[in-house]
Structure 1
Amino acid sequence: MADRVSASIALGGTLTASTFAELVDIITLEGLSAKWDGEPFEPRHREIGKPLYLYAHEVTWGRFSELEAWCFAHRLPFTRWSGGCAGQFGPERVVFTGTGSPSPYAVTEDDEVVIARERLVALGSFEAVLTYFDAADATVPPLIVEGDALAEPSVPDLS
Structure 2
Amino acid sequence: MADRVSASITLGGSISIGAFAELVAIIANEGLSTEWDGEAFEPHHRTIGAPLSLYAHEVAWGYFNELESWCARNQIAFARWSGGYGGQWGPERVIHTGDGELTSYAVTEDDVAVIAREAIEQLGSYAAVLDRFSAADFTVPPLIVEGDPTPQEATGETSPPAEEATNVE
TM-score by length of structure 1 reads 0.96
Q: Matches of 1:100 and 1:67 in 2, distance apart? A: 14
Deviations 1:107-155 (A, max 9, x none): 0000000111100000011000000000000110000000112233335
Q: Matches of 2:130 and 2:74 in 1, distance apart? A: 30
Q: Matches of 1:55 and 1:41 in 2, distance apart? A: 10
Deviation at 1:101, TM superposition (A): 1.5
Deviations 1:64-100 (A, max 9, x none): 0000010011011000000000001000000000114
Task: Give the letter for the 1:154 counterpart.
Answer: T
Task: Give the letter for the 1:32 counterpart.
Answer: L
Q: Matches of 1:132 and 1:144 in 2, distance apart? A: 28
What are structure 1's unaligned runs of at least 5 residues? none
Aligned to 2:112: 112
Aligned length: 158
Equivalent residues of 2:52, 2:143 under 8 A apart: yes
Aligned to 2:123: 123
Q: Following TM superposition, where does structure 1 have runs of at least 4 consecutive aligned residues deviating by more than 4 angstroms?
A: none
Percent identical among aligned pairs is 64
What are structure 2's unaligned runs of at least 5 residues? 162-169
Q: CA RMSD in A?
A: 1.4
Q: Matches of 2:28 and 2:100 in 1, distance apart? A: 27
**SS of the residue aligned with 1:62?**
coil
Aligned to 1:87: 87
Q: Matches of 1:48 and 1:155 in 2, distance apart? A: 19
